Amino acid sequence: MTPIDPNQRLAAGLRTQLAGRRERGPARAGATPRSEAAARRSAHAVSPAMAQRIAALAPEDPERPRKAVRIYLEAELAREFGAALLNDPEFPALLDAVQERMQADAETAGAVDALAGLLLAGKLSSG
């Protein structure tokens, strides 16, 4: 069995699910296509701001893994579709729906759990 890289699987799934939004939405000013190599590097990177937000989660919080993944999803979606997405009033509902769908699929839920573990352990490189 081929091991699942939680970063790659989640990023690919999000790109597929949200491709329609990109096609419908206005083009980002000054946006340029990213190179494949840059996309691969960023798929494994955690920004210092993201790392700080994850580190600030209370260790005793039982929702800590879910919150860490949500922080990651927010950052990845903003990186992929533009930071203006963060100001969309429907964005929190979109995040809820994405997380619910990921947890509904056993294989994806396992990848999400692995990602949460990596995020909380600080095992992803800073980018």
How many angstroms separate the CA atoms of 90 and 75, rounded? 16
User: What average pLDDT values come out for the chain (127 residues) when binned by 10 residues?
Assistant: 56 62 49 50 70 94 96 92 92 94 93 94 72
Quick one: pLDDT at residue 126?
Answer: 58
Q: Where are the domains of the chain?
A: 64-127
Which residues, 6 or more positions from 110, have their beta carbon under 8 angstroms from its beta carbon? 4
